[in-house]
Amino acid sequence: MLEIKDGKWRNALSVKKLKNGKKKMVTVGKKMILIGMQNDQYFATDALCRHMRWPLAWGAKVEDDCIRCPLHQTTHKITDGELVEWSPFPLFPPYGKLVGKMSREKNLTIYETRVEDTQIQVYF
Ligand code: FES
């Protein structure tokens, strides 16, 4: 198995396997990441929601440069991973805020991407 060391470009996914508006969870070395394409730009983030580790490939929405988890709608920017909203859903009853308090607010890790030959690569 590929050993992960810091600071290298790594092949993550063939460009043929990702269409605009789609995203996929992939394992690169031992790290699970999410790769997506929005407005013809690739992006890569942690694979799991920072709130309660829901896989973001399963139903997360990407719009306005943000990714929103479907479970409690925690939202982060895909440009720099900054937290926009932490577990706001559902509002009534205020279950979202309650489960939001079960873990500390965190930013999402964002990985640089590039295309090399036929591969989308990520840097970490
Ligand atoms: S697990 Fe994603 S918002 Fe709660």
Mutate to test the pocket of ligand 1, among 66, 71, 84, 106 (most ligand atoms within 8 A of CB): 71
The region of weakest confidence among 44-48, 58-62, 94-98, 109-113 is 94-98
Question: Domain extents for the chain?
Answer: 9-123
- pLDDT mean over 10-17: 97
Q: Which CATH class is domain 9-123?
A: mainly beta
Residue with CA at minimum distance from ligand 1 atom 4: 72
Distance 4 CA to ligand 1 centre (A): 27
Going from the C-alpha of 104 to that of each of 43, 98, 107, the distances in angstroms are: 25, 12, 10
3-state DSSP call for residue 99?
helix
Q: Would you say the CB of residue 72 lies under 6 angstroms from ligand 1?
A: yes
- pLDDT mean over 49-57: 96
Contact 44, 35 (CB under 8 A): yes
Q: Whose CA is closest to 78, among 49, 44, 104, 47? A: 44
Task: Report the C-alpha gap between 18 and 21 in whole angstroms.
Answer: 9
- pLDDT mean over 103-110: 95
Is a pLDDT exceeding 60 seen at residue 2?
A: no
pTM for this model (two decimals): 0.89
Q: Whose CA is closest to 46, among 109, 105, 104? A: 109
Confidence band of 94 (pLDDT split at 50, 70, 90) = confident
